[in-house]
Structure 1
Amino acid sequence: MRSGPWDITPGELIEYAAAQEWAPETRRGRRNTLLSFYRWGIALGLTDTNPAVALPRVRVTTPPARPIGPTAYEDAMTKADERTRLILRLAYEAGLRRAEIAVIHSDDIIEDLDGWSLLVHGKGRKQRLVPLTRRLALELRSHGHGYVFPGAIDGHLSPRRVGELAAAVLPEPWTLHTLRHAFATRAYRLDSDVFTVQDLLGHSSPATTRRYVQTDRSRLRSTVDRLTAV
């Protein structure tokens, strides 16, 4: 009689994985987790084999960047109430994730010699300073002491609720995250500095940042035109 994960065969693991309706990114993550789990088991002497090596590798295609256009953004701003407009602006003008927006506190708004900045609490408890425009800093400071978006979850709105508020005014297929794509694309087109955009978005790798930046089609055309003129 089976007693646990150490008795699972490679065939059974493949059958289990094949039955799951996982997105490619999720499937790759689960495969890596299983590989690591069984390596840990081997290191502790709990098993001699790693059945996860039989799982096929998952190739994940990188979807193109999807920055929202200015007209759709302006339409959403027109429909939004004051709270939701600020949420949209924080994604579009500062490149923040919904989870980062949810936890903004008045103590995170900092002034230095260069102006106002926001201490952003990002993924993996990583923090970064994002410069704020004077208008955006003034809007955040006007909410007084405490969380800018108060709510029932630890005193602030949940990331899910932040996303729902944005989705209620954004036309399909746009989401709050596409405003972050728009921020990245517009920032990169200023001086083509991927490392600056990487720091602003809080990415650990410029390869991740690249997925947020939409290629400027006019530059592609200009490059081809110049090549043919040589």
Structure 2
Amino acid sequence: MLAAEAGASRNTLSAYETDLRGSSAALEGELASAQRADLERLGAGWAHLARSTVARKSAALRRFFGFLADEGLRDDDPSAALPRPGGGRPLPKTLSHADIARMFEALDREVATRKPLAFRMAALIELLYGSGMRASELVSLPRAAVRQGSPFLILTGKGGRERLVPISDRALAAVEKWRNHVPGDARWLFPSGKKHLSRIRLYQLVKELAVKAGIPPDRVSPHVLRHAFATHLLEGGADLRTLQTLLGHADIATTQIYTHVDSARLVALVNARHPLVDAPGSEA
């Protein structure tokens, strides 16, 4: 149902499967027939987990029991007994402009060695920070996806939704240098063995670059670079609707985690441009 009707991504399907199998094991294979008391005990066992993890597990189970009810496999839905961790959504981790500058300085030093893998690293980072792609979207790019002279590419993201992604001149140049080292018969832009580069390996490479830039590696990941892309665009004057399109968010509510940046920009704008700023008594 999640794949056919909801259009869930492969990563979402994998996460749901992990959560459902884990919950089923905890209930000795009786998940489908679990009662409220069973789910209360299950939820109590999650007390040591992060709030976001508990929320994800609860969401997976609520979806599961909703499915059973919709299909007539159960007459009730006991999922109300699952925990609903409160509190607002945490602000995304991001990087300052100075952090990004340090990372690109480290990247320039790598590229100066003219080693093929340095060109690969440059292409990966330019696309991550320059376009805001998800890690899974980046590593699975076909070899010909980025075309010289084309300022954008078409990506199929979560739920099979297509979107246009801008590609900067810097990114185009970096990709072209790397593509010269990619076998002509390769299916992927970032091949690795018979498949493409894995998300885990990309994660490791980004952290290695952070270390070379003198940035604590726990502060940097491919997703943090995606957040930096979004945050810095907002700081530069982009609006949330544009950002929603660029990031491929189906719902503007997802993009609204960045409103703290937009709000700060608006306050600064009012303080700098409002006609009463320089009026007599404005310092009172």
The alignment's TM-score, normalised by the length of structure 1, stands at 0.81
Rounded to whole Å, the distance in 2 between the matches of 1:45 and 1:156 is 42
Question: 182, 189, 192: which is aligned to 1:148?
Answer: 189
1:34 alignment partner in structure 2: 61
SS state of the match for residue 163, structure 2? strand
Question: 216, 220, 224: which is aligned to 2:267?
Answer: 220
21-30 vs 84-93, which moves further: 21-30
Q: Measure how far apart 1:79 and its partner are.
A: 3.1
Contact 1:66–1:214 (Cα < 8 Å) also in 2:
no
Q: How many residue pairs are counted as aligned between the two chains? A: 226
Rounded to whole Å, the distance in 2 between the matches of 1:32 and 1:65 is 21
Residues 1:104 and 2:147 are matched in the alignment: no
Gaps of 5+ in 2: 1-27, 111-117
Residues 1:95 and 2:136 are matched in the alignment: no
Residues 1:139 and 2:166 are matched in the alignment: no
Question: 215, 232, 251: which is aligned to 1:186?
Answer: 232
Rounded to whole Å, the distance in 2 between the matches of 1:86 and 1:187 is 20
Instruction: Quickly say closer, same or farther: Cα 1:108–1:36, change in 2 above 3 A.
Output: same
Rounded to whole Å, the distance in 2 between the matches of 1:209 and 1:94 is 15
**Greater strand share, structure number:** 1
Contact 2:143–2:190 (Cα < 8 Å) also in 1:
no
SS state of the match for residue 57, structure 1? coil
Cα deviation code 1:113-172 (max 9, x no counterpart):
xx42123342233332212122321322340444221113x5210111111100112122
2:43 alignment partner in structure 1: 17
Residues 1:125 and 2:160 are matched in the alignment: yes
SS state of the match for residue 165, structure 1? helix
Contact 2:190–2:197 (Cα < 8 Å) also in 1:
yes
Alpha-carbon RMSD: 3.0
The alignment's TM-score, normalised by the length of structure 2, stands at 0.68
Gaps of 5+ in 1: none
Q: Measure how far apart 1:224 and its partner are.
A: 5.6
Tell which has more relative contact order, 1 or 2 (C-alpha 8 A, sep 6+): 1
Contact 1:185–1:213 (Cα < 8 Å) also in 2:
no
1:160 alignment partner in structure 2: 200
Rounded to whole Å, the distance in 2 between the matches of 1:62 and 1:168 is 29
Contact 1:24–1:58 (Cα < 8 Å) also in 2:
yes
Cα deviation code 1:183-218 (max 9, x no counterpart):
112222333421111111111122212324652646
